[in-house]
Structure 1
């Protein structure tokens, strides 16, 4: 669902409106992120892995199919579903900043219901603030920035920056190519024969 030069403005606006539902409803974002991560899944898989009631799972997957962000990949029973790639760039009018709406951002929004730090951060800084924090989280995991730099850039406390960076760490590792730096605790224990 990446906007390209052959698309009309109406198509791009429609894409954005479809994605807006995902950014407003963490339950839908969580299901979309699950499908993006898994590749394909049945409703039963969704029910089992996400602990959803049958009616809820069918309702959510139908909404995502109707919105055009999830496709039915196999019409045979049980049907299989897959997420469509989402990659939109939004420029805000207020400060001319660009924000990427990607599966990683949608995944982060989907974690809002299960992670109080992400929920609080979205309440205070909105989804656009979360998009920027995700950029910092990826850069931090790559060793390019620190929580103090993010705190300074955002005019927030270093503690608040550290909390959101820690909350977004799993998202960064699941969606971006990040090389592990240094030896882990298990490797250190092996070196010392523990």
Structure 2
């Protein structure tokens, strides 16, 4: 017998459905990510930054406000909007992953980055969440594309491509130096002294 829904359960379902829209529509995810990165911003600023038409921008902002993932910071004109923090853990048959603003940002780049688009097509959003975790570790210098490839049973090339594609997301969303984990920046003289 099912348990009656509580107000907290309703909040969880509403949050999940709101986030599901972001993961399903890359343009909504891009707009959410813009407000998350910029803090309080106007629709006009978002239109210019994301190259959106006025009608599309206002329609998307209204949808994000209606679902509760973006809030109006004040009612004076022009209105400013800010993204609400999202931290939702989802359990699927493929495993458990957490939906964060960084993951939503990565999904939003799907339309403009073929490597992210291909990776999502092959591994789903859950796979992208896992790749994002590896991308953070890579930028911190804690892992390499080869270790990721071995762990996930994908080719080293596929691992390198998605890590490079996710690099801008990591450097914008996390407090990590952009030069953190790239193997391209290791001085060969440093490795010669280890031999």
Question: TM-score normalized by structure 2?
Answer: 0.86
Residue 105, structure 1, aligned to residue 109, structure 2: no
Once residues 173 and 181 of structure 1 are traced to their aligned partners in structure 2, the CA distance between those partners, rounded to angstroms, is 9
Query: In the alignment, which residue of structure 1 is the partner of 2:23?
Result: 23
- Structure 2, unmatched stretches of 5+, are 1-5, 188-195
Query: In the alignment, which residue of structure 2 is the partner of 1:129?
Result: 127
Query: In the alignment, which residue of structure 2 is the partner of 1:152?
Result: 150
Query: In the alignment, which residue of structure 2 is the partner of 1:163?
Result: 161
8 Å contact 2:41–2:80 — kept in the other structure? Answer: yes
SS in 2 for 1:76: coil
Query: In the alignment, which residue of structure 1 is the partner of 2:66?
Result: 66
Query: In the alignment, which residue of structure 1 is the partner of 2:44?
Result: 44
- Structure 1, unmatched stretches of 5+, are 1-5, 189-194
Q: Within 5 Å, which residues of 2 pair with 1:69-108?
A: 69-92=69-92, 94-95=93-94, 97-108=95-106
Q: What does the per-residue CA deviation read over 1:95-148, in whole Å, with 9 as the maximum and x for residues that have no partner?
A: 5x3211000000000000100000000011000000000000000111111111
Residue 118, structure 1, aligned to residue 116, structure 2: yes
Once residues 158 and 49 of structure 1 are traced to their aligned partners in structure 2, the CA distance between those partners, rounded to angstroms, is 34
Q: CA deviation at 1:38?
A: 0.3
- Higher mean alpha-carbon deviation, 143-152 vs 20-29, is at 143-152
Once residues 52 and 40 of structure 2 are traced to their aligned partners in structure 1, the CA distance between those partners, rounded to angstroms, is 17
Distance 1:181 1:122, change over 3 A: closer
Once residues 86 and 165 of structure 1 are traced to their aligned partners in structure 2, the CA distance between those partners, rounded to angstroms, is 23
Once residues 181 and 131 of structure 1 are traced to their aligned partners in structure 2, the CA distance between those partners, rounded to angstroms, is 20
Question: TM-score normalized by structure 1?
Answer: 0.86
SS in 1 for 2:136: helix
RMSD: 1.9
Instruction: Give the total of aligned pairs.
Output: 177
8 Å contact 2:102–2:173 — kept in the other structure? Answer: yes
Q: What does the per-residue CA deviation read over 1:43-92, in whole Å, with 9 as the maximum and x for residues that have no partner?
A: 11111111110000000000000010011112111111111111111122
